[in-house]
Amino acid sequence: DSHLKAFMASLHKFQENEVMTDVTLILPDQSVIPCHKIVLMAASPFFDTMFQSGLKEGAEQNIKLDFADSDIIKILVEFFYTGDIELTEGNIKALVAGSEFLCCKHLKAHCEEYLVDTVDLSNCIDYYRYGQVFNLKLLIKTAFDFILFKFREFREISDFDKLTEDELVEVVSCDRLNAENEDVVFEAVVHWVNADPDARKEVFPRIAPLIRFPFCTQTALADKICCGSLMLKSECIQLAHEALWSQFHFNCRPPIHNGRCIPRLSFDLPLFRLTIFAFGGNPEFKSVKSFDVKGTNPEWKTEKEMLHALRQPYVVQHASKIYVFGESQLSGYGVFFTVSLVCQEFDPGSNEWRVRSEMPGSCTGGAAVALNDMIYVVGGTERVCFSYDPANDEWKVLSKPTEVYNNRTTATVWKGKILLGNEKHVEEYDPVEDRW
């Protein structure tokens, strides 16, 4: 290496004295640099190809260059002759682009190391994008990891509110996101939307499902999230309602360290506009009770009774209605039929009930969930999968689950699929392909 540096220094001396040069580089500002083809070819595959291709450009004495400004080209030529280069915040991006153009892989890697070492709050998003432009894989990973690690300081991250929808989705959906709880994630998404509300308010329903609402604090859920205008104007409010009810039901939250890897849960008692509803039971089989979470003197109160008595119904909230499907139904002699096929629709706004079309078959020990525009009744000892279209009041019989569920069955929706399981096993249902 010492011999090479001595050789390069000698060549540089020749260049300064314009001795033995056989090509002249003409820069954008019309200044010129006398050079040696052998040096340019050894340093850059771009020049090596040019001078050995036999093309007209390679045979000319004067070579015009305009891939960068004159100062950057001079720095690169200086590097070719001396092996030394000073990287600064002001020239680093231009040198990456120049090394890419000249096919100088080692110089490009050296520049990438500089960028990686200087990632901070002011440039992590900019460097993440720049790395993608020039395929700087180490820089991409370092910048993205930095965004994840510093996510709790999202307000300090430069250009956070300028992230594209896809970029925000990539960050928010990552299990490695460093957030003390999901309150921060919700606040960050709302902050991003409010930076350009006219363009992004319609994007919010696509991003909100990526927030793990069960890991928000009770205070945030009750005081901010469930009352926020963005949530109230989207169907995502159901996710927050389920999360709030789960916290009241268990009086605890799942461990925070699992907050970025556990899917949201689903429960039989719905929370609608900060009011919890309970249906049926023993001995008041037609009863409907409600509990106002935000009330000054919270207590259960009686609502209008169901039209049909049910002991253990499946309950699902869909849009602005609550649907109650039978399990056990009371006979005239106080004896339970095995199951009930009845489907009842409750409007919490008007406090009115109406009967809809019956289920196409019985389901004992199953569960029900809402997904997109449909409701699904799944599981049970009968291994059923029924879909119900509330808009058209129509049922369909779909493919059966692979397992029999007759004890503590639970179902939830996760990433467009239905998860059905109990303490022994879980299986996944794809409603698009009708496949378990």
HEC states along 234-276?
CCCHHHHHHHHHHHHHHCCCCCHHHCCCCCCCCCCCCEECCEE
pLDDT of residue 4: 46
What letter does residue 225 receive in the DSSP assignment?
I
| Rounded Cα distance, 224 and 231, in Å | 10
pLDDT of residue 394: 96
pLDDT of residue 168: 97
Beta strand segments in 217-365, E? 271-272, 275-279, 288-292, 300-302, 314-318, 321-325, 343-347, 352-356
Class of domain 150-258: mainly alpha
Number of C-beta neighbours around residue 371 at 10 A: 19
Q: Contact, 338 vs 326, CB < 8 A?
A: no
| Rounded Cα distance, 73 and 66, in Å | 9
| Assigned token pair, 417 | 């699929």
Q: Is 258 helix (H, G, I), strand (E, B) or coil?
A: helix
Q: Is the C-alpha dihedral spanning 179, 183, 184, 185 positive or negative?
A: positive
Residue reference for tokens 């395929």 = 135
Q: Contact, 378 vs 366, CB < 8 A?
A: yes
Tens of pLDDT along the chain (436 residues)? 554 455 555 555 555 554 588 899 999 999 999 999 999 999 999 999 999 887 776 678 899 999 999 999 999 999 999 999 999 999 999 999 999 999 999 999 999 999 999 999 999 999 999 999 999 999 999 999 999 999 999 999 999 999 999 999 999 999 889 988 899 999 999 999 999 999 999 999 999 999 988 888 888 888 889 888 899 888 788 888 877 766 654 433 333 333 343 333 333 455 555 677 888 766 557 888 887 766 666 677 888 999 988 877 888 888 888 999 877 655 555 555 556 889 999 998 888 999 999 999 988 888 899 998 999 999 988 999 999 999 999 999 999 999 888 766 788 887 788 988 877 788 999 999 999 9
Q: Is the peptide bond before 283 cis (omega within 30 degrees of 0)?
A: yes
pTM of structure: 0.58
pLDDT of residue 118: 97
Question: Which secondary-structure segment (H or E) carries 62?
Answer: strand 62-64
Least Cα distance to 218 among 294, 301, 316 occurs for 294
**Annotation: CATH topology of 2-140:** Potassium Channel Kv1.1; Chain A (3.30.710)
Residue 392 φ/ψ, nearest 5 degrees: -110, 0
CA distances for 281 relative to 152, 296, 329, angstroms:
44, 27, 10
| Rounded Cα distance, 213 and 113, in Å | 39
What letter does residue 399 receive in the DSSP assignment?
P
Q: Contact, 341 vs 393, CB < 8 A?
A: no
| Rounded Cα distance, 213 and 61, in Å | 68
* Range 220-224, long-range pairs (CB < 8 A, 24+ positions): 220/181, 220/183, 220/186, 221/247, 222/274, 222/293, 222/294, 224/186
Domain range annotation of the chain? 2-140, 150-258, 271-429
Q: Contact, 362 vs 429, CB < 8 A?
A: no
pLDDT of residue 250: 42
Q: Contact, 112 vs 148, CB < 8 A?
A: no
Q: Does domain 271-429 have CATH number 2.120.10.80?
A: yes
Q: Which residues are CB-contacts of 227 (< 8 A; sequence separation ≥ 6)?
A: 274
Q: Is 430 helix (H, G, I), strand (E, B) or coil?
A: strand
